[in-house]
Amino acid sequence: MKVRFNVNGEAVEVEARAHEMLLDVLRRELGLTSVRYTCGVGVCGACTVLVDGEPISTCILLALLAQGKEITTIEGLGGEHPVQRAFVEAEAFQCGYCTPGMILTAKSLLEEDPEPAEEKIRNYMGGNLCRCGCYLKIEDAVNLAASKVAAPIKGGI
């Protein structure tokens, strides 16, 4: 079946089988390998993308349900996004496998709340697991992004 949606600002039309998850379609049809498969059951957050601005686990979202949606992957942030820079500055990763999903979830959090309290950061990011155990540095990165780029975030990042 054909499915049409926007990915990183571009309209695309892709082939998807009725039972296929968005994760597989993004990787196979569009080569977006930053969208990562790990648990496959919506627990780890490695496959997170933003769907209409909300962090969503694509391993449990049927591709057909993405019809007409606006999808953002880490490729769409371009590499110099303030949250990406904060993750680099805070050294908030080791292997980097979880990092795309972490950054996209953090971006969504900071758009919702530009100055989140510690508890809110931990709760909001709780659906993204890091097997390298970088949680404290990830929290530092979110705080760094919030403190250093509050103005641009408030204006829309």
Residue closer to ligand FES, measured from CB, 91 or 115: 91
Residue closer to ligand FES, measured from CB, 96 or 152: 96
17 DSSP assignment: -
Query: Quick check: helix, strand or coil at residue 33?
Result: coil
CA distance 27 to 49: 12
Among 1, 95, 112, 154, binds ligand FES (CB under 6 A): 95
Q: Does residue 43 interact with ligand FES by CB under 6 A?
A: yes
Q: Does residue 47 interact with ligand FES by CB under 6 A?
A: yes
Number of residues that bind ligand FES (CB under 6 A): 23
CA distance 140 to 118: 10
CA distance 134 to 96: 10
Residue ranges in contact with ligand FES by CB under 6 A: 37-40, 42-47, 57, 59, 93-99, 130-132, 134
